[in-house]
Amino acid sequence: MNKEALFKEIFQANSRKIYHLCYGYTGDDDSANDLMQETFMKVWQNLDKFRNQALISTWIYRIAVNTCLSYLRVEKRQAKDELTDNIIENKSEEISDKDEQVASLYKCISQLEENERLIITMVLDEIPYPEIAQISGISDGNLRVKIHRIKQKLTELYNKNERF
């Protein structure tokens, strides 16, 4: 299979998940799309360097996480709450109840620590736990405990945000 065909297959299999990951970091559709494109540009440029020591999706996730973190450092995003509040306010007139719940969930996710955002985004994208453990660098057992704690934290954040 040539590089272009391989890349097209990789993009189709992973682009939605990478978009969600980027959206989890930025809370902004345009920025998430830009970061997803930047991630896949890096994948294209380095495809011949992939050593098959891990799943290709794991490799792509690491590229996406590093791309998002670099973006956030360069942009020096200030209050995550302000960003997500603005996004939710701007879209509130045009979105349904379900979309509002999703936006509220992403607002809560944006309040988590970086590694918690990474883990819960992968859980939402239904990435297998062993792969999440490998990407995040923690053991399978610790991952399950961490996911449980993240879900508790999200529930608390969601309930607190719904009261206001």
* Mean pLDDT of successive 10-residue stretches along the chain, which has 164 residues: 89 92 84 94 90 82 85 62 53 54 76 83 84 85 92 88 64
Q: Where do the DSSP E strands lie in the chain?
A: none
Distance (Å, whole) CA 77 – CA 75: 5
Q: Which tokens in the block code for residue 36?
A: 């997803």
Distance (Å, whole) CA 104 – CA 158: 7
